[in-house]
Amino acid sequence: MKISSFLDISSCSNRSVFPDKQQALREMAGLLSKNPASGEETADSLFAGMMEREQLGSTGMGDGVAIPHCRLPGMKSFTLALTVCDKGVAWDSIDGRSVHIVCAIAGPVESTDEHLRLLAGTARVLSSGKARYELLNSKTDFAMRESFLYHLSPVTTKHSKKSRKKLLIMVLQEEKAYNDVMELFLEMGIEGAVTVNSDMMGPMLSNVPIFAGFMDVLGRSRPEPRMLFTLIPEEEVDSTVAAVEETTGDLDNHRGACIIVLDAVSVRGSLETL
């Protein structure tokens, strides 16, 4: 995906003032419509699309961020709009905080996968305190846009099917780590992954009386680990592991997560979702 073409400078507003969420959505629709990718869709139809999505649940993701979005039949491609609101807007966010950064996304109805990757990538950027700080302190529309694109740059297109594959196996005991990794994979355009719910050694042995005295060593927590299997192009294994460690921390010094990479002697078929 050519992210830079989605966020035109004309769709960026460094300092906005909105009296309420509805007016904010209307203004964001106007910014979205300035991009030629909006095609046949007008500011009014973009506003209606985002309002319809908002009725399904607030797009205020917390930490002062909202990502309203929609898919419409008249869109030629994706378009983004980005703004910073100094005074904040009430958005029914999950943490109850006012919204100061709004990134709106609109795209074609048929482009579900690309829309999800772009949405995940945007959410990942705006969940970063460093990225939010840079956006809130940008002095110009151009500086704000460049900062956003810089942090969004890890979003990639689908991997080449001709690349030699490696089998990557992960064990994640923490639900948050699992959710973060799945969001990361979506952002990176990884074509598919399989997850298996499993059990750890400690909780299993806690049900065996003879081992009860060892539980202080093995641990008394009852995590709900998941094993994750996916195929990664050989040349991208290191960058994928590094990206995961940005979420989990250094795996050599972090309990509760493990990555194993194996040679895949023969691969036929795909892990892509049906």
pLDDT value of residue 52:
93
Kindly indicate whether the domain formed by 165-263 is annotated with CATH number 3.30.43.10: no
pLDDT of residue 86: 84
Distance of CA 161 to the CA centre of its chain: 23
| Residue 69 known to be catalytic | yes
- In the predicted model, residues of the chain with pLDDT beneath 70 are 1-4, 153-163, 187, 191, 200-223, 272-274
Q: With H, G, I as helix, E, B as strand and everything else as coil, classify residue 9.
A: helix
Longest Cα pair distance anywhere in the chain, in angstroms? 71
pLDDT digits (tens, 9 = 90+) for 107-149: 999 888 788 888 888 888 898 889 999 999 999 999 999 999 8
Q: Which residue has the tokens 């952002």?
A: 187
What pLDDT does residue 2 have? 60
Start-to-end CA span in the chain (Å):
22
The topology under which CATH files domain 3-152 is Mannitol-specific EII; Chain A (3.40.930)
pLDDT at 162: 59
Half-sphere exposure of 134 (CA within 13 A, CB side): 16
The CA distance from 62 to 226, in Å, is 26
Q: Comparing C-alpha atoms, which of 97, 95, 105 is closest to residue 125?
A: 105
Catalytic residue among 69, 100, 115, 151: 69
**3-class secondary-structure state, position 274:** coil
The amino acid present at 216, given as its one-letter code, is D
**What residue ranges in the chain does DSSP mark as E strands?**
12-16, 60-62, 65-66, 69-72, 79-89, 99-108, 165-172, 193-197, 226-233, 257-263
What is the amino acid identity at position 121?
Answer: G
Q: What are the distances in angstroms from CA 80 to CA 13, 19, 235? A: 12, 22, 31
Full-model pTM: 0.63
Strand pairing partners for 259? Answer: 170
| Residues 102, 81: Cα–Cα separation, whole Å | 8
Neighbouring C-alpha atoms within 13 Å toward the C-beta of 11: 28
What's the pLDDT at 203? Answer: 56
**Cα(60)–Cα(179) distance, integer angstroms:** 18
Distance of alpha carbon 146 from alpha carbon 135, whole angstroms:
9
Query: How do the domains of the chain map onto residue ranges?
Result: 3-152, 165-263
Give the separation between CA 271 and CA 71, rounded to whole angstroms. Answer: 26
pLDDT of residue 154: 54
